[in-house]
Structure 1
Amino acid sequence: MPDQSLRATDFLTLPKAELHLHTEAAIRPGTAAELADRSGLPLPPIGQQHPTWPTFSAAYEQCRALIGSLDDLRRVVREVFEHAPAQGIVWTELHVVPHLYGGRLGPVEGLVEAAVDGIDLARRDGGGAGGLVLGVGRNASSAAADEVADLALSWAGRGVVAMGLTGKEDDFPSSRFAASYRRARDSGLGVVPHSGESGNASCVAETLRELQPHRISHGVRAVEDDAVLAELARQQICLDVALTGNLQLCVVPSARDHPLPELIRRGIPVSLGSDAPYLYGVDLLDEYALAHRAFGLPASAMASIAADSLRHARSNVDLLHRHSAAIERWINAACLG
């Protein structure tokens, strides 16, 4: 596999973590078709552009609607972790926002238990390792954020590795939830909010200041402000970037306009994630191939992205140390052809 023409499949043997992945939109296409047929609900679209936030949210909610029971949720999670090794993924962090089910599947504790059970079932059958990120919607109340923090802390060490924050950033500042995230962080959980996708660089600055995150999902609009970029680099905050998602949600006009190379140049750690693979019609191997193809990143740079994903994962083991030899072997193979 010569360095200048790496394909998606060439990244299979590169050990990597997927840190930016949402449960409902990670449903397997065959499972989505089966659940849609069973429930009589429409099959969500695959690979369509979403020029506005409402159009994306509507498509995402179609995915959520297919999950009609705790057994369905358990299955969707199990299949995510079962499929991970087929992409060379050695660690997965799967985001789920319990309150967005609105009680439809019962108490939020039951959702977490079912999702953790899905991970455990996959692991017993040779699936990948990882954990859950319990999220809060930005339009939620501070009381809901406190409940998620309580829930995350009660499951810490038993399948939950972090707290996240999702949703449209306009009019919903991070500061409303600062106390909940501080409690999670002080107790050893990861803090991995979304920011800098729908919101501008000032939203990233506020998230840094108010939530003191370990990583940020997206964060790409930080490129609008040199001071914010400098702070991300100073703190070594990893940005979990979703290239295809940024294209389909029109965050950037084209792949070549994406700020990923500038983020790397400024010394900011980055990982790649498929984010909503069902809706975007991609997987993590596709995202690595896109980064390599669009920006001409050499094998060494692609390996650095994979290494950052392992370094900044919320695992209780040193994933980078465990997989460093395999990363070196991959670089050598990629460069020698």
Structure 2
Amino acid sequence: MSNTTIISTFSLSGLNDTTNHRVSLFCLTFLCYSVILLVNVTLIVTIILEENLHEPMYIFLCNLCFNSLYGTAGFYPKFLFDLLSGTHVISYSGCLMQIFVIYSYASTEFSILALMAYDRYVAICRPLEYHSIMTRHKVVLLVCFSRLVPLLCQAIVMMMTAKLELCGSHIQKLYCDNWSVINLACSSIAINNIVGFIVIFLYFGHDLLIFCSYVQLVKFALKSKEIRRKFMQTCVPHLLCLFNVTVALLFDLMYARYGSNSVSQSVKNFMAVQFVTIPPIVNPIIYGIILTKVRSSVLSLCMDNKKVKG
């Protein structure tokens, strides 16, 4: 006899061990989300307003910041609400939407970083051809491609998940993730696993593509002092951001699939929220500090704003 039931809501148990620290966690989370909004919106507005930043590298950076706002919007508002609520539940459709937003954000992050690596490869290795290769039309196509393909991949994953018959509604996490939901299925999830691994390897394959481009970049950087300076100024922040995103997401994916039940809930929670906390804060700060043109433009806008108020 089948144990299948019609699931309308899921319960989230990630906050069950934090009863005595809810207010502190709420304040810390609210501060964290406020910083994410501040640093990312600042960079987006700066790049939009400053004409000297209307170049492919900064357009891709603007897209990266926008993606951070998109991804964190799928986690923080619901999490903040749960911290103040006595019950931690999410509707079936809300759960699928949260999975779609968070994981399409993660996939898009890799796509944009791959575009930024390609842009740096052309700028450093083929500088005379840069403007003929990175035309406005091509930049628009690349930005659209970096957003639409991850959305399509995650839409396929979500449709497959939505077709599963579930025998439970309890998720041991702070938010919905695809692995937790498909583990509640009454039937085989082999096809879902295969498709999931294909998507994971596809986007971690972006790291391999970026690595190959940087092998060429390092070769060119060794040729002259000027190229080395350009490499250090524009490529180092990109590598730091890539490392940041890869490690954070790898922690979550590996723990979700192979994590031990002996690990405390606090450690589980930390590992689960890394990639919606650390990259959205650290990435714009890295670029804002290291890239001279961005830093100068941000300071210029702040000074102009003070003069207007004065």
User: What's the TM-score bracket when you normalise by the shorter of the two chains?
Assistant: under 0.3
* TM-score of the pair, normalised by structure 2: 0.27
* TM-score of the pair, normalised by structure 1: 0.26
More helix by share: 2
Q: Indicate the structure whose relative CO is greater, using CA pairs within 8 Å and at least 6 residues apart.
A: 2
More strand by share: 1
Which one has a bigger Cα radius of gyration? 2
